[in-house]
Amino acid sequence: MQPMYSRSAFSRRHFLASAAAFSGAAGWLSGTASDAAEPKPFSFVFFTDPHVQPEKGATEGVKQAFAKVNALEQRPDFVITGGDLIMDALNVGMDRVQLQWDLWDECQKTLEVPIHHTVGNHDVTGWSSKAIVKPGDSGYGKAIFSERYGQGKTYRSFDHGGWHFVILDSIGQDPVTLDYKGWIDDDQLAWLKADLEKTGTQTPVILVTHIPFYSVWHQVLKGPAFPLDGKALVGNVFEFRKLLALYNIKLVLSGHGHISERIQFDKVVYLQGGAVCGMWWKGPVHGNPEGFVQIDCHPDGSFQDRYISYGWKARA
Ligand SMILES: [Zn+2]
C-alpha cells in the first residue's frame, strides 16, 4: 500500500479519514490479502498530555517527541494521543485557544505515521466555572476538537491487526458549576455496549480514556485516605465495569495525571502513560522524564509496553 499521506501537504480531515480507513480489520501498513487472514505483531505509540503552548519551548518539545517517534527502531503503525494536546482551552479566550490549536497542527505535520486523537479536559473550550468563553459562544465545548481532530466525534473505535481499539470521551460536565468532571455519558455507554457486542468476546480490546479509571499515585504520595475529587478519575466506571468484564479488555490507557503508572487488576492492565510535557514543561514528574509509551501487540492478545524518553531538557 502506498503511503497514505504526504508529509508536506495533507488536510487534517483527509489525514484522519485515511487513518481510519487504513485501520480496518485487514489494515496492515504494508499488508497483502493473505496478511489479512494471518495477523502479525504490530506496534503503536501512546502519546499523552503534550500540552502545547507558545512558552517554555513546548512546540519544539512536541516536535522533538514526534521526531523520536519517527525514528523508533520498531516503526509504530500509528499514534494514539491521550488528550490534553494543548495547554488549556478551559480558562482562556478564543484567540489563545486558536493559537494553541495552530501550534498543535504545526507539530502534528512533522509526524510521519497516522494519528488518532482522544479528547482531554484541557482540549474542551470553556468547561470551567472560571471560563472566559461561555455557553453559546462560538467554539464552546468540544466543537473544535471533534471537527478538527475527531472525525466529527469525540469517541469512536477501529480495528487493527486483530485488535479492537476504543477511544473514549471521558470528559463530562457538572451541570451546576459547568466545570468538567470524569464521566462517560449514557449515550456513549449505549454506543460502547453495541460496539463491544459487535466486537465479540474473543477479540483483544484496548480502551483509551484521558481521565483514568483507577489510579494509586495520590495514595502513594499523599497518604492512603487522600480523597479524590470528580476530576481525578472517571466517576461512573463502577457502574459500567460489569459490561467491560464481559469482553476481552486487555489494556486501558489513560493520561491526565502526567504520571507513569501501571496497575494490573484481574486480567486488565491500567496504564497511565506519563506525559510528553512532563510537569507542564517544567521538568520530569517524580523522576519520570518527558516521554511516551510504545506498545507491541501480538495476535495472541499479549502485549508489551515501554516508556520512552525523548531527551527533553526543561527550559527556565
Ligand atoms: Zn487532563
Classify burial at 267, counting beta carbons within 10 Å of its beta carbon; exposed 0-12, middle 13-18, buried 19 or more: exposed
Ligand 1: centre distance to CA 31 (Å): 36
Q: pLDDT of 127-152, one tens digit each? A: 999 999 999 999 999 999 999 999 89
* Residue 12, pLDDT above cutoff 80: no
Domain range list for the chain: 40-309
User: Do 256 and 120 contact (CB within 8 A), yes or no?
Assistant: yes
Supply the pLDDT for residue 36. 54
Q: How far is the CA of 139 from the centre of ligand 1 (A)?
A: 19
Instruction: Please tell me the pTM assigned to this model.
Output: 0.88
Taking alpha carbons only, the member of 233, 276, 289, 303 closest to residue 80 is 276
Mean predicted confidence (pLDDT) in 150-175: 97
**For 195-230, what is each residue's pLDDT tens digit?**
999 999 999 999 999 999 999 999 999 999 999 999
Mean pLDDT of 185-198: 98
For residue 108, report the distance from its CA to the centre of ligand 1, in Å: 19
Asked whether the beta carbons of 160 and 27 are under 8 A apart, the reply is yes
**Using CA atoms, how far apart are residues 51 and 195, in angstroms rounded to an integer?**
30
pLDDT value at 18 more than 80? no
φ and ψ at 252, to 5 degrees?
A: -120, 110
Task: Name the pLDDT band for 316 (thresholds 50, 70, 90).
Answer: confident
CA of 276 to the centre of ligand 1 (A): 12
Ligand 1 centre to CA of 74 (Å) is 29
CA 165–ligand 1 middle distance (angstroms): 20
Distance in Å, CA 207 to ligand 1 centroid = 17
How many residues can be counted in the chain? 316
User: Band of the pLDDT at 7, cuts 50, 70, 90?
Assistant: very low
39's grid cell: 495477523
Burial of 294 (0-12, 13-18, 19+ CB in 10 A): buried
Does domain 40-309 correspond to CATH entry 3.20.20.140? Answer: no
What's the gap in Å between 83 CA and the centre of ligand 1? 7
Dist. CA 54 → ligand 1 center (Å): 19
